[in-house]
A and B are shown apart, each in its own frame.
Chain A
Amino acid sequence: QAVVTQEPSLTVSPGGTVTLTCGSSTGTVTSGHYPYWFQQKPGQAPRTLIYNTINQHSWTPARFSGSLLGGKAALTLSGAQPEDEGDYYCLLSYSGALVFGGGTKLTVL
């Protein structure tokens, strides 16, 4: 089974920009992996921010954007806010399976 990798932790300053990445042990991540990005805060269910690489939901703050970058899926946060602190997970689709990354703990400090 594929392994999906994320940065364990990242720190961003308020108002700053940070990029989280999502890599695959099988090679380059493409749109065919239908990358998803989720945000989770303590004690809450996950919330989907990005689906199918770049698509935002109506509730996704405009400061979050998805892309493919350097063979990985990427989530960029531009203009970080204190409320963006939390855990972020990516999800990739493979034939017959979905695999989550281990998550990135994002600190806004």
Chain B
Amino acid sequence: EVQLVESGGGLVQPGGSLRLSCAVSGFIFSSYSMNWVRQAPGKGLEWVSYISSSSNTIYYADSVKGRFTISRDNAKNSLYLQMNSLRDEDTAMYYCAKDCNIWGQGTMVTVSS
């Protein structure tokens, strides 16, 4: 069974940092691209970042470019999102997704003083 489990969310002050993780199982992680997608409370879905299977290609939404860094460790079947210089508007549920086909349950990030 394919599983994606996000962790690392929590409450952080504006300007702070967090590192999200996504542990995967049930498929050959190294063969698939991955995405991070977020959803602010009561709002729609927003794509955040993409990483190819070998990490050769990486894309970011303009709203996070220069502040967030996506990475992966294929040996550990894990995807990461390093989030720096966090803002109030980064408050959201963060989902990892295998391609855009299989989704985790999300981890909540709250940026507030």
Contacts and interface: CB of A to CB of B under 8 A. Distances in A.
B47 to A, nearest CB: 4
Interface residues of A, number: 21
B36 to A, nearest CB: 11
A103 B59 contact: no
Given A36-B100, A99-B47, A45 B105 contact: yes
B100 A48 contact: yes
Chain B interface: which size bin? 10 to 19
A40 B106 CA distance: 13
B62 interface: yes
A64 interface: no
Interface of B: 35, 37, 44-47, 50, 59, 61-62, 95, 99-106
25 contacts: A36-B100, A40-B45, A45-B103, A45-B104, A46-B37, A46-B103, A48-B100, A48-B103, A51-B99, A51-B100, A51-B101, A87-B44, A91-B100, A96-B59, A97-B47, A97-B59, A98-B100, A99-B47, A100-B37, A100-B44, A100-B46, A100-B47, A101-B44, A102-B44, A103-B44
